[in-house]
Amino acid sequence: MKARGWMAGFLLLCLSLLCLPLAAALGQSGADASDNERLVPRLGDIMNAAQSRHIKLWLAGRAANWELAAFELRQLKAGLVQAAMLYSGIPVSNVTTLAAPLQSVADAIDARDGRRFTKAVGELTDGCNACHQSMGRAFVVIRIPVPAEQPFSDQIFAPKGNK
């Protein structure tokens, strides 16, 4: 019985010691901040999700999976709206400039027209790059995805001029 009590105490001590770094990290991370402050995604995370949606939108449209393309477009729009709402440094004109290309993509999906879809996604992609340029992020260049390349094939990683 004494051995069992000693062992339980030892396990409790070990667990406490293991949890100390976690408690310290939580204290430094602002975990005691309000829920709204903790749950605001970083702009880069929102844009990474948008980039993934851009790839999936393209692949779905090219495969004529119009239902999936419509879903990905809705998700992409929601992410862009979220970015604009959460980050006041994004000019309203950048967001409204994308309205026409987003609508063109939606219209092409509704019409199930691959040719219109290709053109509309190209215009949307140009709009993304224009936004990046206006925000001082011209080094982030998006393109129509190339499925045979790496997973994020719609981003050019080479420095400008070294395509």
CATH, residue 130 = 1.20.120
Report pLDDT for 32.
52
For the chain, the DSSP string reads -HHHHHHHHHHHHHHHHHHHHHHHHHHHTTTTS-HHHHT---HHHHHHHHHHHHHHHHHHHHTT-HHHHHHHHHHHHHHHHHHHHH-TTS-HHHHHHTHHHHHHHHHHHHHT-HHHHHHHHHHHHHHHHHHHHHTT-TT-EE----TTS-TTTTEE-SPTT--
Residues of the domain holding 124 = 43-156
The reply to whether 4 falls in a domain is: no
- 5-19 per-residue burial string, b: 16 or more CB within 10 A, e: under 16: eeeeeeeeeeeeeee
Phi, psi for residue 107 in degrees, rounded to 5: -65, -40
Does any domain span residue 34? no
pLDDT digits (tens, 9 = 90+) for 16-65: 444 444 344 444 444 455 555 668 999 999 999 999 999 989 988 988 98
- Position 27 in a domain: no
91-117: pLDDT as tens digits: 888 878 899 999 999 999 999 999 999
C-alpha 111/C-alpha 98 separation (Å) is 20
pLDDT at 116: 98
What local confidence, expressed as pLDDT, does residue 119 receive? 98
Average pLDDT of the segment spanning 118-139: 95
Domain annotation covers residue 77: yes
Residue 137 belongs to a domain? yes
**Residue-level pLDDT at 146:** 83
On whether residue 65 sits in a domain, the answer given is yes
Across the chain, mean pLDDT equals 79
How many folded domains does the chain comprise? 1
- pTM summary value: 0.70
